[in-house]
Chains A and B, each alone.
Chain A
């Protein structure tokens, strides 16, 4: 399912004394099957963009096309259920939204809310719990008896059980330990490939953006600052640094080495091995002339 934002503007509490412009003139195309990362500071408008992807917010200007549905400013939009069923959002700290008595009921809640039968919802809960790498025994437990990492997985299973075509992830690994972080990111990446989903990742981790995304959008002060492939975005690290953003660690190290040896390598490398290679080549070649 393709999603496309066209010149989207959003004002919080529009036409009131508290009006605040959050994003303006944002145009982003997310063709079906894309893995898109959105990066930017806290307050750059990332979360506002995210909430347009399933019409939780409707633009105050411009339009958002989600599959066959167009959501335009200044128009009453009804029946958005179809859109929300297909675009699943995993919010930050999704475990805070768990509420049911058992894990199974919690996972079933979403699908049943969209009219799936109880039997089917149960089957989906089972499938989803396996997908997130938990054992089926957990289905009978209260979600509040689980560890933080398990709760996170249950919350994610709840979104997967809706069988969305687009998954939107808002800092999905915040607060997890390094292994948990890698497992969750790998899980989303393999789902992305297997089920040919579109994935939108909102993140502060430049490493994750570089590793997983096909395309990166950099938000700054409510606008799209730049967009392109990870190679393109990080080939100009200075621009990101000027915005006060981080660059992937490997890029940061390359810049330090280049500065220290007053040289420029042939390209900006996004992989540790490649950087090691370039440094070795440089030093073997005599380094500084």
Chain B
């Protein structure tokens, strides 16, 4: 894998007036161009982690460096140029009166000249397939479309990392699929590093690597295959097992010769075919 883009070393963080630390001595790296999913139950510390990565909060112990810069109150503005964030609620992050104003908002804040801005707004919206919606007002958009505009707003600033903080959890199934597909395309075409914070395990299954958080600690790290082998342990952590993995297991229990658990239904059906043809 390529070089680490983000390094998190021995980071701890507590909210005021709360006994248990939200993050307790966390260390890991995030690599350039990867899609990392951070999963965990509500309150496991995953959103706090996201806030630290973007300098919305600062670690009380340990250090975070992004693109070689150590995060501090002095460097936070440089870091935010590199790290874009998309939040959970589509309605809370739409600030413009039209789609193009919304995308231009961040560029204006960064003092980008108008000629460049016009071009960036258009190309960013094209990348999320919202390029024909320039003058639409937010209330005419679905949740999934609003989140895609939010992603475009982040892309316009040309960050190297995008953090999705439960960005699909308020969407209907169609909106969720739209956003995940958009992210997948961006990752492949633009080589953007994606950190998705989620408890949707089907979403996490599409990532390159998964980190499981539990009670403020890094509980486990691995590829989706490795993580989903945890099986019942995931349920104890307040999570779930993706449906194809669950079904693979049930089919194996019925004596069907599958060699492992499959993360997608396609793989599972293909394997059923293969094992069948050998019978």
Q: Which residues of A contact B170 (CB under 8 A)?
A: 93, 174-175
Cβ of A257 and Cβ of B169 under 8 Å apart?
no
Given contacts A42-B142, A179-B238, A246-B173, contact A280 B255 (CB under 8 A): yes
The answer to whether A249 has its CB under 8 Å from any CB of chain B is yes
Cβ of A177 and Cβ of B199 under 8 Å apart?
yes
0 or 1 for each of B240-276: is its CB under 8 Å from A? (1 = yes): 1001101100110111100000000110111011001
How far, in whole Å, are A204 and B88 apart by their CA atoms in the complex?
A: 18
Cβ of A175 and Cβ of B169 under 8 Å apart?
yes
CB nearest to B177 among chain A residues: A246
Residue from B172, B256, B266, B270 in contact with A42 in the complex, judged by beta carbons closer than 8 Å: B172
Given contacts A175-B169, A253-B265, contact A288 B42 (CB under 8 A): no
Q: Which of A67-99 contact B (CB under 8 A)?
A: 93
Given contacts A180-B41, A279-B256, A283-B276, contact A41 B172 (CB under 8 A): yes
The answer to whether B279 has its CB under 8 Å from any CB of chain A is yes
Given contacts A179-B41, A179-B239, contact A204 B173 (CB under 8 A): yes
Cβ of B256 and Cβ of A280 under 8 Å apart?
yes
Q: Which of B74-90 contact A (CB under 8 A)?
A: 88
The answer to whether B59 has its CB under 8 Å from any CB of chain A is no
The answer to whether A123 has its CB under 8 Å from any CB of chain B is no
Residue from B238, B239, B250, B272 in contact with A260 in the complex, judged by beta carbons closer than 8 Å: B272
CB nearest to B143 among chain A residues: A42
Cβ of B273 and Cβ of A260 under 8 Å apart?
yes
Residue from B142, B251, B270 in contact with A280 in the complex, judged by beta carbons closer than 8 Å: B251
Report the interface size for chain B: residues with CB under 8 A from the other chain.
40
CB nearest to A282 among chain B residues: B276
Residue from A41, A145, A149, A252 in contact with B42 in the complex, judged by beta carbons closer than 8 Å: A149
Min CB distance B191 to A, Å, is 31
The answer to whether A244 has its CB under 8 Å from any CB of chain B is yes
0 or 1 for each of B19-62: is its CB under 8 Å from A? (1 = yes): 00000000000000000000011110000000000000000000
Instruction: List residues of chain B with CB under 8 Å of any chain A CB.
Output: 17, 40-43, 88, 142-143, 166, 169-170, 172-175, 199, 201, 235, 238-240, 243-244, 246-247, 250-251, 253-256, 265-266, 268-270, 272-273, 276, 279
